[in-house]
Amino acid sequence: MHIRRLPGLAVALAVLSFTAPAVAQRGGSNQPPARPQPDPDTVALVQLVDAAIVAAPTVQVGDTTKGEIALKWNSSHFIKGQNGVYVPFTVTFDPESIRTSDVSLYVRAVEKDRVPLVAAALTPPAAPAAGSKQPPPPAPAKYAWDNVHFLQKPADGRITRAIALPPGDYEVFVAVRERSVSPTAPSNPPGSPPVRTGLLRHAVLAPDFNKAELQTSSVLLASTVEPVSGQLSPAEQEANPYVFGPMRIVPARDGRFTKTNELQVIFWVYGASASSAGKPDVVIDYNFYLKQPDGAEKYFNKTAPQELNAKTLPPEFNAASGHQLPGSLVVPLTSFPAGDYRLEIKVTDKPSGKVVTQNVTFTVTG
């Protein structure tokens, strides 16, 4: 099988001291940003999420949605970041359900075990009995992540952003609202139709990539991988969460490719031990399996193993400095019959003998 790597980009990524960019956060409270005049969309979105938590403080099973704008959690990836786990994600909606050219987006992440506490903090206290003292107000709610965005309505109904979280279990709230004409104007002037909103509640488990064990990031299947020149501004980085240092990844939608496409695979390896040469010594095997009409799988093909060691890594690579091991693969799909495939990725840490396996599925169409 004819394959190629991403040598220039992979080498550049290997010597980055982190594999995910920093993303801005609003400050971890349930209050909108301080402004001369509060932005009505931000206030409304915060109140929408507050109300959802107060109405259902127990942990949800499966996604829940609410409002005229039906939101769907399309995909997410988990990558080791500067201070925890970097989670770029995509939500989708019907573009026709939003009538304005701009939208307001609010994202909040709450630890699952803290959701009832947040609900209590957001619930107004009951009026005290006659003659009794007013109890002290509860402490303001704090969130693991809390941010607001204003953007043009995407024509394809896809919004991609990122959050950064410590390892743990979370409920993530994504709220969307038709954007007001003016940030300081009333959200719903007299005689205008009601403003449409949408709310999605989704469970997220952020893995602990700092554990002393062999593991990998999520595996990204890309439709395009291209170099990026220069450093993005904070606003540009927010709008392009799949830019990693010198590389821009465009994730493949729904894992579907035509035979004229290339399958591009990218991920990072964590927890590899050092060899006698002071660098990791890792071998990555890629095996393809084709789903048969009866539902069983049949081995299809494999690539040459990828070696990450003192001979293949750049001389300046230093795991102690936080440099990461990027796995990468590019395979033309011309020889792949149409069908559903499973790619088995086996990562072997040769000094310790430890092995970790990841599986991703994709489809080749005619």
pLDDT at 21: 67
Identity at 292, one-letter amino acid code: Q
Please check the confidence at residue 231 and state whether its pLDDT lies above 90: no
Indicate the SS3 state at residue 200: strand
**Distance (Å, rounded) from C-alpha 59 to C-alpha 111?**
10
**Distance (Å, rounded) from C-alpha 114 to C-alpha 142?**
9
Give 159 or 11, the one with higher predicted confidence.
159
**pLDDT single digits (tens) 267-278:** 999 999 988 778
pLDDT at 32: 45
DSSP assignments along 301-351, one per residue? EE-PPEEESTTTS-TT--GGGT--EEEEEEEE-TTSPSEEEEEEEEEEETT
Q: Which helix (H) or strand (E) holds 46?
A: helix 40-55
**Distance (Å, rounded) from C-alpha 320 to C-alpha 308?**
16
User: Closest by alpha carbon to 171, among 113, 119, 104?
Assistant: 113
Over residues 141-169, the mean pLDDT reads 94
List helix spans (H) across 155-304: 234-239
Kindly report which listed range (54-63, 188-197, 261-270) carries the lowest average pLDDT score.
188-197
**Residue with structure tokens 């988990």?**
78
Over residues 184-192, the mean pLDDT reads 58
In DSSP terms, which residues pair with 265 in a beta bridge? 221, 329
| Burial environment of residue 42 by CB neighbours within 10 A (0 to 12, 13 to 18, 19 or more) | buried
- What domains can you pick out in the chain, each with its CATH number? 7-19+217-365 (2.60.40.2550), 40-206 (2.70.50)
Percent of the chain exceeding pLDDT 70 equals 83
DSSP state of 260: T
**pLDDT single digits (tens) 310-354:** 999 988 888 877 788 999 999 999 999 999 999 999 999 999 999
**pLDDT single digits (tens) 16-54:** 545 566 666 654 444 444 444 578 999 999 999 999 999
**Distance (Å, rounded) from C-alpha 2 to C-alpha 283?**
19
Asked if 194 and 134 count as a contact pair (C-beta separation under 8 A), the reply is: no
Please check the confidence at residue 14 and state whether its pLDDT lies above 80: no
